[in-house]
């Protein structure tokens, strides 16, 4: 049964300094400048490119993310569009890091004059195209990137990158807090060895150890081949009281291996993360035998978008079954459109300068139509979306967000049991 949203006592899990960032402006350093320093002006038509997974290890996320983009474009155009013209949507397939198709697909989206590219879902894929997108003067706006890499180094300063999903600092804290609340004192972590898996494994480990729990084992496996027998044995020999599996679609092959080793979900309390918290029942794109995951819990960034939003998503995709990151995809498009209206310009650099401002500190509004009307009246706005408060900071990441906690039933279907809010 779903409980009401709560606020996590993150201070009990990690040092407060690691989770408090100033919520200040973002975007480009000067009016009209791209990441490469050149100036540009939009062509008058806001073009949204979507670089989302139609194929690859995160293909299950593609339908809800594409549906979120499609619904946002539909709502915007029905409300009068942006700068007096309809928004145009161009689709691209991000694939995964193994297929390596994202750079070529990005070229296609840029050739189609995309001002904003929504995607990729995978942090690893985004890192292969982020420089290409920003150098072209376009915005990259991911609905699902959670790696801390986008808030560090060269990407820590205001630029053309944004995301509506919170970094793994928050998801790591929430999952660690869940483990602690459920009495897990000796935790094994099995994670894919990529930008996503390594970062999240580190954040979970750091938070658990800060609270006094032990890491029985932290095993990283090849994202291409999955864990080998020796790595499964290492998890088994750790004799942990909980196993955290940080994975993508390979979950359907990893879980049977853990079961065979006597350390599956019915032997040891098991926890998933957003990369693999999906439905695995009969009729889903990937499935496991009934009862395999019963009682397993997982985390997905995002607030409760509600049944009304899910019903509206089905008007653009009647076959939709999963909803992960659909709200974040929707909000990324809406925020971009509002940024263009505020800038009176559809170029990436101009939109980027306005994006943080339309997500905080102004008059609150929750729909594109209402927010656009306020902007037309010269008002400062604070768009609160279906994915949560958003409130983007100087690195382009949310400074306040929610993480949903989900539990599997006997049919390997997930349902939310709690939503935890926090600040970063």
> Model confidence over 306-326: pLDDT tens digits?
899 999 999 999 999 889 999
Give me the residues paired with residue 270 across strands. Answer: 243
- d(CA 333, CA 174) in angstroms, rounded, equals 27
Give me the residues paired with residue 82 across strands. Answer: 85
Length of the chain counted residue by residue: 424
The CB density around residue 214, as the number of other CB atoms within 10 Å, is 16
Query: What is the model's pLDDT at position 40?
Result: 57
- d(CA 399, CA 267) in angstroms, rounded, equals 38
Query: pLDDT above 90 covers what percent of the chain?
Result: 79
Three-state SS for 405? strand
- d(CA 312, CA 315) in angstroms, rounded, equals 5
The mean pLDDT of the chain is 90
**Which positions ≥6 away from 397 have C-beta within 8 Å?**
150, 151, 162, 163, 166, 167, 424
Where do the CATH 3.40.50.2300 domains begin and end in the chain? 31-166+308-388, 169-301+402-423
Region of 51 on the Ramachandran plot (φ > 0 left; ψ -120 to 50 alpha; else beta):
beta
Give which of 319, 306, 321 is closest to 404, Cα–Cα: 306
Structure tokens at 325: 């990151």
298 neighbors 277 (Cβ within 8 angstroms):
yes
393 neighbors 23 (Cβ within 8 angstroms):
yes
Structure tokens at 229: 């027998």
- CATH domain 169-301+402-423 topology: Rossmann fold (3.40.50)
Task: Extract the runs of DSSP E, i.e. beta strands, from 43-153.
Answer: 47-52, 88-93, 116-119, 139-142
- d(CA 7, CA 402) in angstroms, rounded, equals 9
Strand pairing class (139-142; 88-93): unpaired
Structure tokens at 95: 């694939």
Query: What is the model's pLDDT at position 34?
Result: 42
Q: How far is CA 252 from CA 271, 276, 297, 315, 366, in A?
A: 14, 9, 16, 30, 38
- d(CA 416, CA 329) in angstroms, rounded, equals 20
Mean pLDDT of successive 10-residue stretches along the chain, which has 424 residues = 43 36 31 44 95 94 97 98 98 95 98 98 95 98 93 89 94 96 97 93 96 97 95 98 96 98 98 96 92 97 90 97 93 98 98 97 97 98 94 91 95 95 84
**Side-chain half-sphere exposure of 285, counting CA atoms within 13 A:** 20
- d(CA 319, CA 305) in angstroms, rounded, equals 18
Region of 191 on the Ramachandran plot (φ > 0 left; ψ -120 to 50 alpha; else beta):
beta
> Model confidence over 217-269: pLDDT tens digits?
999 999 889 999 999 999 999 999 999 999 999 999 999 999 999 999 999 99
31-166+308-388: CATH superfamily:
Response regulator (3.40.50.2300)
> Model confidence over 4-55: pLDDT tens digits?
445 444 443 443 333 332 222 233 333 444 443 444 589 999 999 999 999 9
CA Rg value for the chain: 21
164 neighbors 385 (Cβ within 8 angstroms):
yes
Query: What is the model's pLDDT at position 26?
Result: 32
């Amino acid at each position: 049964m779903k409980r009401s949203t709560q606020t996590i006592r993150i201070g009990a899990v990690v040092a407060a300094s690691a989770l408090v960032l100033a919520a200040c402006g973002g975007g480009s350093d000067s009016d009209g400048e791209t990441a490469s320093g050149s100036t540009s002006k939009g062509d008058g038509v806001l073009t949204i490119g979507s670089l989302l997974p139609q194929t690859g290890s995160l293909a299950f996320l593609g339908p809800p993310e594409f549906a979120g983009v499609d619904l946002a474009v539909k709502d915007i155009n029905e409300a009068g569009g942006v700068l007096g013209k309809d928004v145009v949507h161009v689709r691209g397939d991000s694939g995964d890091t193994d297929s390596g198709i994202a750079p070529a697909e990005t070229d296609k989206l840029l050739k189609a004059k995309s001002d904003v590219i929504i995607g990729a879902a995978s942090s690893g894929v985004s890192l292969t195209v982020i420089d290409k997108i920003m150098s072209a003067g376009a915005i990259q706006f991911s609905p699902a990137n959670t790696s801390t890499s986008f808030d560090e180094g060269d990407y820590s300063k205001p630029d053309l990158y944004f995301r509506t999903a919170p970094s793994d600092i928050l998801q790591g804290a929430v999952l660690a807090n869940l483990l602690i609340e459920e009495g897990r004192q000796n935790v094994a972590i099995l994670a894919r060895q990529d930008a996503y898996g390594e970062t999240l494994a580190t954040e979970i480990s750091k938070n658990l150890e800060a609270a006094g729990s032990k890491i029985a084992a932290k095993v990283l496996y090849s994202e291409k081949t999955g864990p080998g027998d020796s790595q499964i044995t290492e998890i088994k020999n750790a004799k942990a009281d909980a196993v955290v599996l940080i994975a993508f679609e390979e979950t359907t092959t990893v879980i049977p291996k853990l079961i065979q080793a006597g350390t599956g979900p019915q032997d040891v309390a098991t926890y998933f993360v957003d990369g693999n918290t999906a439905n695995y029942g009969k009729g889903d794109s990937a499935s496991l035998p009934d009862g395999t995951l019963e009682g397993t819990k997982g985390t997905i960034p995002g607030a409760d978008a509600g049944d009304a939003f899910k019903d509206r998503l089905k008007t653009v995709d009647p076959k939709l079954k999963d909803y992960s990151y659909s709200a974040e995809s929707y909000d990324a498009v809406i925020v971009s459109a509002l940024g263009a209206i505020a800038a009176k310009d559809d170029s990436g650099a101009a939109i980027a300068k306005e994006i943080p401002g339309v997500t905080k500190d102004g008059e609150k509004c929750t729909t594109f139509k209402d927010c656009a009307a306020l902007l037309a009246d010269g008002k400062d706005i604070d768009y609160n979306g279906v994915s949560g408060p958003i409130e983007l900071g100087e690195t382009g990441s949310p400074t306040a967000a929610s993480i949903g906690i989900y539990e599997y039933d006997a049919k390997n279907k997930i349902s939310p049991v709690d939503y935890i809010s926090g600040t970063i």
